[in-house]
Chains A and B, each alone.
Chain A
Amino acid sequence: MNHWNRLWKFGSLLLLAYVILRGFSTPLQPGLVEAEPNSLSAGTQDISFVAVGQPFLRPGEGMEAFELILKSGTALLKTELTSVEAHRVSATIEVPTTLPSPALDAYLFTPSAGTLFLGNAFFVEDAEKGPLPSHLTASIPQESEPHLGFSFPYQPNIMESIRNLLWHVPMWFAMFFVMGIGFVASLAQLRTGNVNWDHRAEAAVRTGLVFGILGLITGSLWARWTWGAWWVSDPQLNGALVTVLLYSGYMILRAAMGDDDRVGRLSAVYNVFAFVMLVILLMVLPRYTESLHPGKDGNPGFNSYDLDNSLRAVFYPAVIGWGALCYWIYTLRLRMNRIEYRLLTQ
C-alpha cells in the first residue's frame, strides 16, 4: 500500500517533468505566416513569404526541390522561385489581367516539410473575372510526406502557443475531477451527516479552485495571443469565470459561518447547487451557443485541435500528470482538515 502511494506520487512528478521538457523543447512544424506585398496588380512582380517554426530548408536541399503555386478559384497560377531561406521564400510572379478570383491562396511544396498553405495570401486589385491564360497555368507537383521528426503541428494564429494545450486543458480537467469528488462528498455528507465527508468536500473545492484559477490565467494568456484580448465575452469564458466565482462563494460561506455546527450541511447544500451550475455552465450552455472557444459549436471533443500523434504523446501524460498532482494536493489538504478538526474537538 505504502509503495503504491509513493509510486503514483513520484510517477506524477516524473510525468510532469517529461511534459514540461518535451512540451518546451519540441520544435514546431513550419508554417507560412505572412505574404508580402499585401495586394498585387497585373504584371511581373516580386513576392515573398515569412514562415515560423522549424526551418523548412534542410541541409542538402536545393531551391529546385521546392515549388510555389498560387490558387485562384480552381485555377493554379505558377511562380518562379528566386530564393529559399530558413524562414523566408521569395519568388517572381506574372499576374495576368484576367483571373477566376481576385483572392489568391498560396501552396508551398517542400521536400521534407510537406505542403505549407496560406489562405488569402494576396489580393489582386485590378483583376477582371475571366479564365487564367494557359501559359501561366501550373500543374500540381509531386507531394511529399512530411518527415521532420518529432514536432508539434502548426496551426494558424495559435503557432508556438500550441504548447499551452499541455497546461490550460489538463488544468480544467483536473478541476472537474476534484470538483466531482467534492460533489460526491457533499451528497454523502447530506445523506449521512458525517463530518468526514465535509472534510473531503472542503479539501476538494479548495484544490479545485486553485486549478480553476490557474486555468483562467493560462486561458487568458492564450486568448491574448490568439484573439488579441485578455478577456472576451464568450459563453465558455463566462461559464469559466462564473464557476470560479461560485466556488469562491463556497469558501466565503464557510468563512462566514466560522465554527458553527451547521457549516457542514449548509456548505454541502451550496456545493451540490454549485456543481450542478458548473455542469450547466461549462458543459451544456456553451455547446448550444456560438463560441470562439475550440471544441464547442456542437462538437464537444477537442478534436478541433487536430491533435496529431506527436501532440498526443505529450498531451495524455499531461492530463494524467496534472490530474494526479491535483489529487495529491487534495489528499494533503484533507489530512490538514482532519488534523485541524481533531485539535479543535480534543
Chain B
Amino acid sequence: MGTGFPSIMKTAIAVANMEWRLEWRQGHQLASVGLFAVASVYVAFQAADRETAAGAWTAMLWLVYLFSGFTAVGRLFDRERSATRQYLQWAIHPMGLILGKLTHAILTTTALTALVLAAFVLFLGWPSGLETASKPGLLILSAWLGGFSMTTTLVFVTAMASQIQSGNGALGAVLGLPLLLPQLILVTRLTRGALDGTPWGMLGELPLFLAALSAGTSVIACILFPYIWRA
C-alpha cells in the first residue's frame, strides 16, 4: 500500500479499470440507467408534445439528467458494503479508490449526457420557435460540464450515504440535492443561454464559475474521503 503520487495514480487506474469491467460483466445495471433516462425523456415528450418553451425545455432536461445521475452514481459504493470493503480498506489507499471511482463515474455520466441529449432532441425536438440550438457547442459543453460537476458532488455524497446502514438509497438523494443546487443554478442558466442565443458577454463567466465550483468540490471531496472511508 504505497502513499506516493505515482502509486495512488496506479491504484486509481486499477480501480477505474475494475469498475469498468464489472460494469460490463453486469450489463443490466448500465442498461437500467439508460432505460430510466430514455423512459423519463419519453414521459416529458408525452406531456410537452413538441410545444415547449426554452425555459421548460431546460427544466425538463435537467430534471431528467439529475435523476438519471442519481441512479447512475447512487449505486457506486453498493459493492463495498460487503467484505469487499474490508479488503479494499486494507489493501489500497483511499485517495486512489476515490479517484478511480470518480473517473469511472465521470465516464458513465459522459455517456449519459450523450444519451439524454440525443433522446431529448429526437423526441422533443428543439424548443418551440427554434430551428436548432443557437450555440450547439455550448449546449453540449454545458451539459457535460454540468454532469461533471454533478458527478463529483454525488460521488462524495454516495460514499457518505453508503456508510449508513438504514435507508441510504433516499439519503443520498436528500443530501445530494442541496449540495447540487448551486451547480444546477449555474448550469441551467448556461443551457438556457446556449438555446436562445444569449450573447457571449453575458455568459462568459458561467462556464468558468462552474469549472471552478466543480474543481473546488472535487478537491474537498478527495481530501475528506479518507475520513469517510476509514473504519
Contacts and interface: CB of A to CB of B under 8 A. Distances in A.
Interface of A: 190, 238-239, 241-242, 245-246, 248-249, 252-253, 256-258, 260, 262, 265-266, 268-270, 272-273, 276-277, 280-281, 285, 288-289
Given A256-B166, A269-B160, A280 B216 contact: yes
A242 B181 contact: yes
A232 to B, nearest CB: 13
A242 B178 contact: yes
Contacts of B41: none
Interface stretch (B1-9, B71-79, B105-113, B220-228): B220-228
A216 to B, nearest CB: 14
A257 B181 contact: no
B220 A276 contact: yes
Contact of A256 (B156, B167, B216): B167
Q: Is the interface of A mostly helix, strand, loop or mixed?
A: helix
Contacts, number: 72
8 contacts: A249-B179, A256-B164, A256-B171, A262-B163, A266-B164, A269-B224, A269-B228, A280-B182
B227 A265 contact: yes
Given A256-B166, A256-B167, A266-B163, A246 B224 contact: no
A104 to B, nearest CB: 34
A285 B209 contact: yes
Given A265-B227, A269-B227, A249 B178 contact: yes
B182 A252 contact: no
Contacts of A276: 216, 220
A249 B174 contact: yes
A245 B227 contact: no
B220 A273 contact: yes
B102 to A, nearest CB: 15
Contacts of A241: 181
B60 interface: no
Contacts of B227: 190, 265, 268-269
Interface string B145-170: 00000000000100010011111000
A266 B159 CA distance: 10
B181 A272 contact: no
Given A242-B178, A272-B224, A273-B156, 15 more contacts: A190-B227, A238-B182, A238-B185, A249-B175, A249-B179, A252-B174, A253-B164, A256-B171, A260-B164, A260-B165, A265-B230, A266-B163, A266-B164, A270-B175, A289-B205
B184 to A, nearest CB: 10
Nearest to B174: A252
Contact of B178 (A190, A246, A285): A246
A262 B167 CA distance: 16
B181 A245 contact: yes
B216 A246 contact: no
A266 B182 contact: no
B213 interface: yes
Nearest to A265: B227
B178 A273 contact: no
B227 to A, nearest CB: 5
A288 B182 contact: no
B175 A253 contact: yes
Nearest to B180: A242
Nearest to A267: B160
B182 A281 contact: yes
Interface string B189-205: 00000000000000001
Contacts of B179: 246, 249, 273, 277
A260 B174 CA distance: 19
Given A285-B209, A288-B205, A266 B178 contact: no
Contacts of A266: 160, 163-164, 228
